[in-house]
Every structure is written in C-alpha cells, then in structure tokens.
Amino acid sequence: MPWAVFLPIPLLLLLLVSLSRGPSYPPLPLLSNGTHTFHPTTLVVSLDGFRPSYLSSHAAQLPHLRTLAKEGVYGEMTPVFPTLTFPNHWSMLTGLYPSSHGIVANHFYRPGEGEFNYGSPETSWQGHWWRGEPAWSVAERHGRKALNFMW
C-alpha cells in the first residue's frame, strides 16, 4: 500500500484537535462604576405570565422595569409550543425547541424513562431528561463566570 494513503490521517487528526478546543475569545474589558472594576454583565429577566403591553398600560407601577427595558436591551419572546413555562424557559436557555431538548411539558411521561415533574427533585434533577446546553454552561465552558437565580 503506498504511503500517500496515510498522509491525510495526521491532517485529519490535527483538524479534529483544533476544532475540539473551541473558539478563543478576547479578554473582556474592565468597566468601572467609580469604586470597583468589573467585567460587562448580561442579565436576563424572564417574567412568567407578563404581557409586553403591561409596560405601557401599567407604566406607573413599573418604573424600574421600564428603565431596564429602555436603557438595556429589550425583546419579546415568541412562545414555543407547548406554551408552558418550563419548556419555554429551557428553549430560551438552550436555543432548542421542545422536540429537540426533550422538555415538552411541566409534567409528562416518556415511555422507557418514566415520569418527569419539574417540581420534583427526584425526577427533575436526573440529567437524562435534559438535552441541550444552557447558556450558563456555555459561558463557564468558555471561561466566563455565570450565575443563576431562581432557576
């Protein structure tokens, strides 16, 4: 067998190793609030059952939320189907539809795996239910700090 047949193998291995490292990101710039330095921060606020029109129809009751929307980035979420809290939040965090990430309701039964109930640690803490990688995991994998509150 000619040696040229084996030449692509090291090139393929080199390509696979370079791809497995993931992209490199430049260092984050430091910001200052006058007393402390900090890195840029992303804050995601998701309000379950909150209609976007409330920002205008109930403006007097929501001054701080309106300021966040006005001075930051604001977007309306188009619900995925089914329009339930848990499948929508997991879709928002992974970028996947329920048919791909597997969380299709707040409570469901999957043949061969059993019953899932988001309120039950006995089932919801089992990793086999969760498909996809949430945003905080991606951030940490790339050397960024991440924090979840009330997830």
Alpha-carbon gap, residue 92 to 64, rounded angstroms = 23
114 contact partners, CB below 8 Å, separation of at least 6: 123
41 is catalytic: no
Annotated catalytic residue within 83, 85, 94, 123: 85
CB atoms within 10 A of CB 130: 16
3-state secondary structure 67-136: HHHHHCCCCCCCCCCCCCHHHHHHHHHHCCCHHHHCCCCCEEEECCCEEEECCCHHHHCCHHHCCCCCHH
Which residues have a catalytic role annotated?
A: 85
